[in-house]
Structure 1
Amino acid sequence: MPQICHTAQEKLNMATIRKRGEFQWEAQVRRKGYPPQSKTFNTRADADLWAATTESEMGRGVFIDRSDAERNTIAEIIDRFTSEFAPHHYKPREDGKEAWRFQCEHLKTALGKFSLAALDQKLVAQYRDKRLSVVGDSTVRKELFMLSKILKFAETECAIVLPRGNPVGKIRKPSESKSRDRRLNEDEWQKLEAECRKSRNTYLWPAVQLAVETGMRQGELLGLAWKNIDKKRSIAFLKDTKNGEERAVPLSPAALAVLDTLPVSIRGKVIPVERMTLFHVFRAACARAKIEDFTWHDLRHEALSKLAERGDMTVLELAAVSGHKTLQMLKRYTHLQAEKLAAKLATNAR
């Protein structure tokens, strides 16, 4: 029998299997150019198989270190995301009920026990289908995008290699819900005004008027301070917006007239009302007026629709008022501009 000799380099690249205690085997693989790898198994056969596979992948240059992904569960990464990343990238709410918190909790409950290495598109697809039986397409779509963002955080901020990549990009997403197009007719507006004026909350109707005249989001309107209103220039300066960027909103004569009727609150807010209070009194007014399927956010849609129907504003000007970062979000209003311009052309042709 010829004697087998190993060079120093071969010995450096060899796997080592050793017994640890009565029931465990530790496999170690060392190879030049790679950090040492080790893993413990319950059987010698499993240890041998892992060592051989790892050596083969290293030899072919396709080895991926799965140790961090195997050690960290999705729950642990979500906890790090909520403490290290989210507070610096999402606008806080006074009641602490930010949407991202609920999304993270649902993901943690359903997928938290799995390691990052175990997460694949099959698990994510199962999560999607189960959630779709409970909530709507839009909700599930947002939760999936949050999961993708959490996994990206694990890769970029935590330096954890995902051996399967990001599985969210490999599955079908629920279709994006259609934009709401609920607008009140003249009769409904009259009924809503009457019921808002009857409300014991005297700020309700002024808040509705300002929402329609300015196109502000509810949070922007409730955060508006008197010190940020310049009546001489007919401008309201918004410091706290959804996308985090300040913007100036033009005030129409009607908006200025509403502001002139309001007392200056000692809190400094134009509408010194809590968000949930406004939500309940508005919903109650709609119920008394027998108006169905109409939300506060529909007032913003009404405001932007009215501006688009004027026909004399460009999409860029509309975006400056609305605060949309992308023009894609305003595509739904371009047909209103086209209709108005077509009417003008028809009038001029006569």
Structure 2
Amino acid sequence: MATLRKRNGKWQVQVRRHGFPVQSKSFVSKADATEWARTIERLHDRQELGPDRKTLKAITLSDLVTRYRDEVVPRKKGSAIETILLNRFLRYTICQKTLYELSTADFAAFRDQRLKEPKLRSDKPITPKSLKRELSPLSHMFRHALVEWEIPLRNPLEGLKLKVTDNKRERRLRSGELERLLEATKNGKNRLVAPIILFALETAMRRGEILSIQFRHVDFERRSLVIPESKSGYSRVIPLTARAVAMLAAFRTEDVPEAAFRPSQSQP
């Protein structure tokens, strides 16, 4: 915000922006002072002026991650997983750095260290693709801090290189695997695990989509199911087979007869 005042025959102007040092200058004419103030404000808007060192030196990466975890993450769909990831990240020494000291090189060192460690909740080494997913909340955190909290920083993850290999695969159950899978569910306490597995095979729906099904989104006559918000963020309509409709009808009445969920002859 610019402030103008006339003093000793000259126009003095100050431009203040949270997180940036105060810019001030004196002019003979008010028009020149106003134009200079507008120029400085445009430079601020384009982030072409350096941030206030004092502001960034007062905030550590740990402070930023903790605030993001406590204020923003609880409102997100994947809050439970993101909280676990952020809590783990807070244990690394990089979080002791101030935002003024933090650079892409620091995250490159963290990347190299993390790639030597196992996945979360696994003994297998983490892959670049998995690490990219772990860093995604942090990248969003930096953007949020700049826009919503007006902390004048740049995202140090933007220049970080991660060689990600597309290792997606198409896998179908082999002969006998479905029977062994269903047999294993008998050792569990939840009797719905087996029906959900068969429903997933019948519809190719994701686990989260199946668990969030609401019967008001099911059209039994037209044999279709609406997913209001899929993984991509958009809604989609899933056509249902007669067998899938029968399964949903059984769930709807809270009566899950064994016969309704036996593997069909068409299943591998």
TM range (shorter): 0.5 to 0.7
* 1:167 equivalenced with 2:156 (yes/no): yes
Q: Give the number of aligned pairs.
A: 211
* 1:66 equivalenced with 2:53 (yes/no): yes
* 1:247 equivalenced with 2:229 (yes/no): no
Percent identity between the two aligned chains: 24
Q: Which residue of 1 aligns with 2:133?
A: 142
CA RMSD in angstroms comes to 3.5
Letter in 1 for 2:107: V
Letter in 1 for 2:164: S
Q: Distance in 2 between matches of 1:210 and 1:233?
A: 18
Q: TM-score, normalised by structure 2?
A: 0.65
Residue 66 of structure 1 contacts residue 161 of structure 1 at CA under 8 Å; is this kept in 2? no
| CA gap 1:62/1:251 in 2 versus in 1, 3 angstroms | closer
Q: Which residue of 2 aligns with 1:91?
A: 77
Q: Which residue of 2 aligns with 1:284?
A: none
Q: Distance in 1 between matches of 2:114 and 2:101?
A: 20
Q: Which residue of 2 aligns with 1:104?
A: 86
The correspondence of residues 1-350 of structure 1 with structure 2, limited to 5 A, is 32-33=24-25, 63-88=50-75, 90-91=76-77, 98-110=80-92, 111-135=94-118, 136-137=126-127, 138-162=129-153, 165-176=154-165, 178-193=167-182, 196=185, 201-239=190-228, 241-262=230-251, 264-265=253-254
Instruction: Classify the secondary structure of the residue corresponding to 1:249.
Output: strand
Residue 72 of structure 1 contacts residue 115 of structure 1 at CA under 8 Å; is this kept in 2? yes
Shift of 1:105: 1.6
Q: Which residue of 2 aligns with 1:16?
A: none
The unaligned stretches of length 5 or more in structure 1 are: 1-7, 13-28, 35-60, 271-302, 307-350
Structure with the largest fraction of helix: 1
Letter in 1 for 2:207: Q
Spell out, residue by residue over 1:268-306, the C-alpha distance to the aligned partner (whole angstroms, 9 max, x if none). Answer: xx9xxxxxxxxxxxxxxxxxxxxxxxxxxxxxxxx9xx9
Q: Distance in 2 between matches of 1:200 and 1:72?
A: 48
Instruction: Compare CA radii of gyration and give the structure with the larger one.
Output: 1
Spell out, residue by residue over 1:81-120, the C-alpha distance to the aligned partner (whole angstroms, 9 max, x if none). Answer: 12332233x215xxx7x22112212222213221111111
Q: Distance in 2 between matches of 1:74 and 1:256?
A: 51
Shift of 1:210: 0.8
Residue 215 of structure 2 contacts residue 252 of structure 2 at CA under 8 Å; is this kept in 1? no
